[in-house]
């Protein structure tokens, strides 16, 4: 569900009740997410307090943020949508996906007041979770691109039309993105004094190569040549997100090194486009404890906390 460079015009989000999820028939024959299966896997047999699916919403993240203000759903509540009309990624970029082609999910989290690991590391931990979940559905090993993208290698010739490698992407293509947002403090009292975070994940699943919106995008179908069941992808993804969040909450010391090992931005010469338009180039040497990308530059080491990292040369396996 990759973002386009220019944000789309904003539109208001409809209020969503987490108790009134529906999945109607698809006009194009695409299979709807199976809510009963998701609840059986994630609530009855998993870690989630509640799981709901809506046909359409402005943004699943925005809907959960509004729910925190109005009704304060419990920790590990998940909302999925068949379609987003005002989906957003980092830096308010528009996210585009046709109805019933992606897994669009947001999870409400209530971290402990003083978590042992940095909150700023959470998006990368979620990226690692997405990598592990998607590994069951694509032939190449999914990797993280700092700070919040998940990519897979372009498929071999014959599975998809040959495309010119977009600058900064090499033969890697974005298959998923992460967006973490803090909820207003007004919901903290209702949540037992614990502030809330909404973690959004979007995965391209059933789009054909020609249906993808930008040349650096891919989907599970385009990367594998198979059209998977979106319900299975959603269940695997959310299960992995919950288990990795719990490891983060326990302060597992192996998490940051594991993210670092999956991160294509480490060990490569990269250009980081920072907020405001400034660019910083250097070699990614590690991730620090806060999830910042540490660059070796001519002026010395620099820890970058925000921006978009793109390779200066093609990345090879």
Q: What is the pLDDT of residues 297-309, one digit of tens each?
A: 999 999 999 888 8
pLDDT digits (tens, 9 = 90+) for 266-295: 999 998 988 877 889 999 999 999 999 999
**Mean pLDDT across the chain, nearest whole number?**
83
Q: Are residues 84 and 200 in the same domain?
A: yes
Q: What is the mean pLDDT of residues 31-60?
A: 96
Question: Does residue 20 belong to any structural domain of this protein?
Answer: no
Task: List the single range of 2-16, 63-77, 203-217 with lowest mean pLDDT.
Answer: 2-16
Pairing of strands 300-304, 279-287: unpaired
Range of the domain at 277: 266-311
Domain count within the chain: 2
Residue 215 belongs to a domain? yes
pLDDT tens, 231-264?
999 999 999 999 999 999 999 999 999 999 999 9
The confidence score (pLDDT) of residue 152 equals: 96
Q: Tell whether 158 and 236 lie within a shared domain.
A: yes
| Residue 78 sits in the same domain as residue 221 | yes
pLDDT in tens, 127-170: 999 999 999 999 999 999 999 999 999 866 544 444 456 666 77
Check residue 225 and give its pLDDT: 92
First to last CA, the chain: 23
Task: Read off the pTM.
Answer: 0.84
Q: Starting at the edge strand that comes first in sequence, how are the strands of the sheet with 308-311 ordered?
A: 300-304, 293-297, 279-287, 269-273, 308-311
Assess whether 93 and 220 both reside in one domain.
yes
Q: Is residue 3 part of a domain?
A: no
Regarding whether 276 and 164 lie in a shared domain, the answer is no
On whether both 212 and 159 belong to a single domain, the answer is yes
Q: Is residue 14 part of a domain?
A: no
User: What is the rounded CA–CA span in Å between residue 97 and residue 104?
Assistant: 9
Structural domain includes residue 189: yes
| Local confidence band at 6 (pLDDT 50, 70, 90 cut-offs) | very low
Q: Is residue 52, in this structure, part of any structural domain at all?
A: yes
Residue finishing a domain among 259, 278, 297: 259
Stretch 81-105: mean pLDDT, rounded?
78
Residue 177, in any domain of the structure? yes
Region 20-32: mean pLDDT is 50
Tell me if residue 103 falls in helix, strand or coil.
Answer: strand
* Residue (of 128, 250, 117) closest to 201 by Cα position: 128
Q: Is 150 exposed, middle or buried (0-12, 13-18, 19+ CB in 10 A)?
A: buried
Q: Binning pLDDT at 50, 70 and 90, where does residue 19 land?
A: very low
């Amino acid at each position: 569900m990759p973002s386009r460079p220019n944000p789309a015009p904003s539109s208001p989000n409809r209020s969503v009740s987490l108790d009134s999820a529906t999945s109607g028939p698809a006009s194009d024959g695409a299979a709807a997410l199976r809510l009963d299966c998701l609840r059986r896997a994630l609530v009855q047999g998993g870690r989630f307090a509640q799981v709901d699916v809506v046909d359409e919403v402005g943004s699943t993240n925005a809907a959960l943020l509004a729910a925190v203000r109005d009704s304060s759903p419990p920790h590990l509540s998940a909302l999925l949508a068949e379609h987003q009309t005002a989906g957003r990624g980092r830096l308010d970029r528009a996210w585009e996906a046709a109805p019933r082609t992606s897994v669009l999910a947001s999870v409400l989290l209530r971290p402990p007041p003083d978590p042992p690991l940095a909150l700023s590391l959470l998006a990368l931990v979620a990226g690692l979770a997405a990598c592990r979940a998607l590994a069951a559905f694509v032939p190449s090993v999914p990797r993280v691109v700092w700070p919040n993208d998940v990519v897979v290698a372009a498929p071999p010739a014959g599975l998809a039309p040959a495309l010119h490698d977009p600058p900064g992407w090499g033969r890697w293509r974005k298959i998923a993105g992460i967006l973490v947002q803090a909820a207003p403090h007004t919901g903290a009292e209702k949540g037992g004094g614990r502030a809330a975070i909404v973690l959004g994940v979007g995965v391209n699943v059933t789009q054909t190569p020609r249906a993808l919106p930008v040349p650096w995008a891919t989907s599970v179908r385009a990367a594998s040549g198979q059209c998977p069941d979106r319900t299975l992808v959603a269940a695997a993804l959310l299960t992995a997100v919950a288990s990795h969040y719990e490891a983060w909450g326990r302060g597992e010391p192996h998490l940051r090194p594991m993210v670092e090992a999956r991160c294509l931005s480490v060990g490569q010469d990269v250009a980081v486009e920072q907020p405001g338009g400034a660019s910083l180039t250097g070699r990614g040497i590690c991730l620090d404890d806060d999830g910042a990308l540490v660059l070796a530059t001519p002026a010395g080491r620099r820890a970058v906390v925000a921006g978009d990292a793109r390779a200066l040369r093609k990345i090879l396996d």
